């Protein structure tokens, strides 16, 4: 079976990082945000967009 060494490395690093924070999602995210801020790079974020309303017929009939 074919192995992707890059993905394996990413999975290993992600697992080590999660283990360092006892798999606490809030702590992991806080750390990543802190690292992002400390990087000094410009952060670009866009507001969420709502999905467009479809003009197609509804899947559930209205009677």
pLDDT at 32: 95
Q: Could you give phi then psi for residue 10, rounded to 5 degrees?
A: -60, -45
Q: Cα dist. 49→44, 54, 56, 58, 60 in Å? A: 15, 15, 20, 21, 25
- The reported pLDDT for the residue numbered 28 is 97
3-class DSSP assignment, residue 40: coil
Specify whether the CB–CB gap between 45 and 51 falls below 8 A: no
pLDDT for the residue 22: 98
Could you state, in chain order, the average pLDDT of each consecutive group of 10 residues for the chain (63 residues)? 93 98 97 94 88 69 59
């Amino acid at each position: 079976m074919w192995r992707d060494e890059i993905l394996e490395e990413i999975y290993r690093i992600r697992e080590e990082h999660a283990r360092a924070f006892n798999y606490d999602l809030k702590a992991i995210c806080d750390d990543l945000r802190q690292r992002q801020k400390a990087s000094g790079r410009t952060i670009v974020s866009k507001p969420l967009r709502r999905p467009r309303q479809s003009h197609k017929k509804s899947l559930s009939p209205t009677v």
